[in-house]
Structures are given as structure tokens and as C-alpha cells.
DNA sequence: CTACCGATTGACT
DNA sequence: GTCAATCGGTAGA
């Protein structure tokens, strides 16, 4: 697939639950010196500005999470367990909400992703937030990047194939608080979604 | 400065 | 299924 036009600011300027759900099936593009990388988003989690202790912004603004407090449509890249994770900022300036992109299905630049990840296993290239970042060369230099520019890193419309895949919902993976919130969205049955088979087969 | 933690991953039983 | 390595960010002495 050729590079497609970036989604506009209006796409991101909505609640994180809506953005997370609508990101499924969209395409994540990354242009590197070694070539263009692209994958279909198959899993995303919402983090709320209010009433969500799992959200990094819930304990106030800091150098690390400052991007979340800025305008929508920017990338929020942070490090956890010595690994990177990619979010998109939602809503508006002053409302620190975001959507974590947890997995993509590799579409283009597979050979480079295999080199970046040091594995040939297609399913393991971008199944998980940190794997995705390693495969697509996403690091803290991209924190705050404007995703509506259509350069370096952006998200575009995907093919609207029929029948539309079923969207499933579950609790978020890995978070140690707010386990009752069902804010993880994924394409049911897609092999590139992270998490256990039990969780994905029986959302709770 | 040290100490602790985590929105993870990969190796192992 | 279990478990520990990982290291930047943050809090606290």
C-alpha cells in the first residue's frame, strides 16, 4: 500500500474511548531512512483524563507525561520496563487523555521490521506495545510529534472491507489499578492481537 | 545521590 | 502456567 493522507485533528479531538475504538482498522505509517513501514492497528486501550488511576496523568503533570496535557493528535511516547510505548493524545489541551496502541498487523516494510526485532516470526513483530515500537523505530524523540502532518509518523484510513471485523472489549492489560474499567478494544479473532487466548476469547 | 516502581517481554516449568 | 531482567522516571534522603 502507498502512503495515505493523515487523519485530521478532528479525529483525535474526541473522547479516548471513541478514538480507541475507531483506531481499529486504521493504518499506522512510519517513514525511516531505511524505508516506509506500515501496519494495521488491531488493538488499542483508552486512558481517561478523569477518574482513571491507571492514566499517567492522574497524579499530575510531569516532564514525562507533559505531552498528554497538550493538544490532541500528538504522539505520547513513554518508557516502561526499559521499553517504549506509543499513545495518541485525545480530546483537547488541558484534558490529559490518550489511547495506547497495543498491536498492529505488519503490512509493509516487513523485512526491516524483522531486522529491528531480530526475529522472522511475522506474528511477533508488532504484537504488544513495546514490540510495535521496536519494529517501527518509535522512541522518545517522537514524543510530542504532530500526527496530522503526514511526515515521519502518522495514521491514515484503512480499507473498509466487508464484512467489518467484530470489535471486542476487555479490561486493560498489565495495569495494576482500575481493573474494572473495560477500556481495551481489539479486533476479535485477529492473530496479531496481544494478550492470552483465554482473555481474548472470553472478554470479561 | 540512592531506592523503588512499572500501560513489558521472553525464557522457563 | 510462572518469573525475573530490564532502565528511565520519580520521589525522597
Report pLDDT digits (tens) over A87-136: 999 999 999 999 999 999 999 999 999 999 999 999 999 999 999 999 99
Selection from A160, A147, A4 nearest residue A74 by Cα: A147
Whether the CB of A194 is less than 7 Å away from nucleic strand B comes out as yes
Q: How far is Cα A91 from Cα A22, in angstroms, rounded to an integer?
A: 14
Q: Is the pLDDT of residue A204 over 60?
A: no
pTM over 0.85: yes
Question: Which bases of strand C have any atom within 7 Å of the beta carbon of a protein residue?
Answer: 1, 5-11
CA A172 to chain centre: 13
Residue A1 CA to B7 C1' — how many Å?
30
What percent of chain A has a predicted confidence (pLDDT) above 70? 99
Scanning A24-172, the segments in alpha helix (DSSP H) are: 110-117, 129-135
Question: What are the pLDDT digits (tens) for A155-197?
Answer: 999 987 777 889 999 999 999 888 899 999 999 999 999 988 7
User: Measured in angstroms, what separates residue A201's CA from nucleotide B8's C1'?
Assistant: 22
> CATH class for domain A9-201?
alpha beta
Whether any strand B atom is under 7 angstroms from the Cβ of A77: the reply reads no
pLDDT given for residue A102 in this prediction: 98
Question: Is the minimum distance from the CB of A70 to strand B below 7 Å?
Answer: no
> CA-to-C1' distance for A123 and B11, Å?
18
Amino acid at each position: 500500500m502507498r502512503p495515505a493522507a493523515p487523519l485530521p485533528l478532528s479525529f483525535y479531538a474526541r473522547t479516548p474511548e471513541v478514538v480507541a475504538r475507531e483506531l481499529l482498522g486504521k493504518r499506522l505509517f512510519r517513514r525511516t531512512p531505511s524505508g516506509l513501514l506500515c501496519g494495521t492497528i488491531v488493538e488499542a486501550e483508552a486512558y481517561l483524563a478523569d477518574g482513571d488511576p491507571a492514566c499517567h496523568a492522574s497524579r499530575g503533570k510531569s516532564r514525562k507525561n507533559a505531552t498528554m496535557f497538550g493538544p490532541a493528535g500528538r504522539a505520547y511516547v513513554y518508557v516502561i520496563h526499559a521499553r517504549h510505548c506509543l499513545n495518541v493524545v485525545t480530546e483537547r489541551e488541558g484534558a490529559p487523555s490518550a489511547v495506547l496502541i497495543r498491536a498492529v498487523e505488519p503490512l509493509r516494510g516487513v523485512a526491516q521490521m524483522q531486522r529491528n526485532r531480530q526475529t522472522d516470526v511475522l506474528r511477533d513483530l508488532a504484537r504488544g506495545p513495546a514490540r510495535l515500537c521496536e519494529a517501527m523505530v518509535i522512541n522518545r524523540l517522537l514524543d510530542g510529534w504532530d500526527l496530522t502532518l503526514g511526515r515521519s509518523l502518522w495514521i491514515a484510513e484503512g480499507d473498509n472491507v466487508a464484512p467489518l471485523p467484530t470489535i471486542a472489549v476487555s479490561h486493560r492489560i498489565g495495569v495494576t489499578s482500575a481493573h474494572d474499567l473495560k477500556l481495551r478494544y481489539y479486533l476479535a479473532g485477529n492473530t496479531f492481537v496481544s494478550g492470552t487466548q483465554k482473555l481474548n476469547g472470553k472478554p470479561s
